[in-house]
Structure 1
């Protein structure tokens, strides 16, 4: 029996159960509400003062106490009957609703880096289909718990698996990840006008992600930086002209003008770094070598093939070039088994990133086959 957030889940024969029961905190709150409710009821009976306010509060606390102490909810995926059901109750579930499994085509995991809603502190595991609203199965603040449950549900129900806005992985490709040759797929042709360069030589696949240039959010960020710097300088010049070079007034206003000027410099610097950043990814027998260049000395990161969970394209806000902190853009994500992510290709078109990700997945799967063959010969 495993956990995901406040839920316990297990598989029994053809059914996967996800059950939530009251924890210690909810149980204590429920007992406290029930005791207060009983106290108000005894007070009303003993004094025979049937005060409407006292009775209403007693009833409210009784309902809250029962809900906190005894409420249970359960989701069941039964592949034998082809149904998924959600049940609620007190002590045991007795209210139930059911939907066919065929109404869903994938299990989706939404992580805080992608979900910018009020519940962004939780990873959400949900069933998603084309013809209806998503159905939530569980939430957890631990990403690995949510991914483990999502993979189990996808495998049990034979559905695709999608992490954030990435590709939907099939049951065959998901079986053992990139270490399994079944994950290898024939790469599609590059999209028209693709600037991503791919070359293979001496058993190494090299993928070059070019600098995005002044496209998308980088242009707006650069213009905002120029505007803030210009505003500060213009205000400084206006003070000098109007006050006939009153250096004392200028000295007092300088700290206030430095604030927009500093923000302008920060925005412009980030835009200049982003538009010049290139990524050079090399697939070797041992894993990936990623070189980031464009500003300062090149930075090299090596990732072992044994710890790579997936290579995908997803929408993220962290590092997005837009001015708004809520802005998102597609990024190529190298997902590790330990939950860490390496994000690259910010600012490039999604189609080009998806083609690059497909080539990297194919190369990693091919290298995995070579390693297995060498181990078998050894």
Structure 2
């Protein structure tokens, strides 16, 4: 049943998929496929600057603990032993986790369409999604945009777009460059690549730091899945490496569907936008100490952002998770070296703009001892 009480199969139906399952599928290699009789774990990148598809590297089972990515093409034509055993992401989820926007709230489909095609939209976003689809890659809006649109924000309230999908970094960057060059209004947009996270950004050419941006990263893997940055093509794995369940919501622009991979995001956002109970529930399945510290900081950000929302947010799940963290979490982070603390300090500045405000101290205290120690350490790092 969906949130309106109707059978989802009757509402959503069975939208056509861009590829077929199993050995009948064509197109890009996906996680869960096998190459050289080993499962495909994910996709790494060997570029330090803007990558091309040649820089994308296939990671197979048994290579997760290597100190650097392998050198293995992601092009199916270069992998004669490829067996299509991995399902397409669109086939992974049960029907009750897939919703037509207007069945969640009347008019929601129009808001999503305006976000992609309206006067304030980034003009290259829709053509880029279509170009990726033409090469067999699927894309979803992720992060704040689907969360905020579902809870009542208009397209004007969404300043940046996050996109995720099955394309590795190099394949995405090549597609983006082709689309930007074809669009006379967008050719001057600047592309950036972060090799530490495999995030690809398209920035406004005039206001590079404050203008609208589009950020892309392939579907995520748990941080401990590989010792080097890598992405995947599994919707559930992607959700389990995100911070809160409310941030696992995705929008599928090709099929005009809201996707809730864990089956929790819509419920935790509340039944009535910006009026009903909102639950702060960690989605993270990782035991990596850095990933846990990042969730603490992002949880603090949303706790501060939403504490004035009518009907105080239910932060008990977040508090219980935070108080169960190992007491030596900071010691484990120390073992990573000073660069790890520089990374956390930068994230802390984004999440907590006024760290000495009384509301911050109260929120940190609510999250327990480990959160208090982390906050105190970051205050020291910033001094």
TM-score normalised to the size of structure 1? 0.20
Structure number with bigger Rg: 1
More strand by share: 1
